[in-house]
Amino acid sequence: MRAVVQRVSEARVEVDGEIAGQIREGLLVYLSIGKADNPDDAKFMAEKLAGLRIFEDDNGKMNLGLPDIDGQILLISNFTLHGDCRKGRRPGFDAAAEPQKAENLYEKTIELLEQAGLKVARGRFGCRMQVASTNNGPVTFLLDSTRLF
């Protein structure tokens, strides 16, 4: 699994002109599932997201996590994170999981985050979405369950 994680003051996702998910302070996470991913990858990603300490404490240091600030997560499926742009002009998506597998692992990740006590809003899997956010920092991190980066 790959994720782009942004610390946000607020974020929302719309589908067909209607708000599908919305959060206040927390994390906007774009999540992509690869062909080789399995439930262990979902567990890794959920634990990493739940434990990230990227919110500032009173001394301005990134020392607080979502539970410390009563933060939320907006989780958006985004298979393009597995896009390969190294050759040619059009990306290839051979590394992305097929939709049914990807949706199952996306839902598993949400379930694990909620079991950790986090409030999770979401987009709609497989739909065209419009995402709006206010990046707080800006602070953005890349995560990969294979620890590629």
What residues does each domain of the chain span? 2-144
- Residue 149's pLDDT is 82
Give percent above pLDDT 70 in the chain.
100
Homologous superfamily, domain 2-144: D-tyrosyl-tRNA(Tyr) deacylase (3.50.80.10)
How many other CB atoms sit within 10 Å of the CB of residue 72? 21
Overall average pLDDT of the 105-111 stretch: 98
- Residue 81's pLDDT is 98
Overall average pLDDT of the 106-135 stretch: 97
- Residue 62's pLDDT is 98
Does residue 107 register a pLDDT over 90? yes
pTM: 0.97
H-helix or E-strand spanning residue 111:
helix 99-115
- Residue 139's pLDDT is 98
- Residue 148's pLDDT is 86
- Rounded distance, CA 147 to CA 105, Å? 18
User: Count of alpha carbons within 13 Å of 86, Cβ hemisphere only?
Assistant: 4
**Residue 49: φ, ψ to 5°:** -65, -45
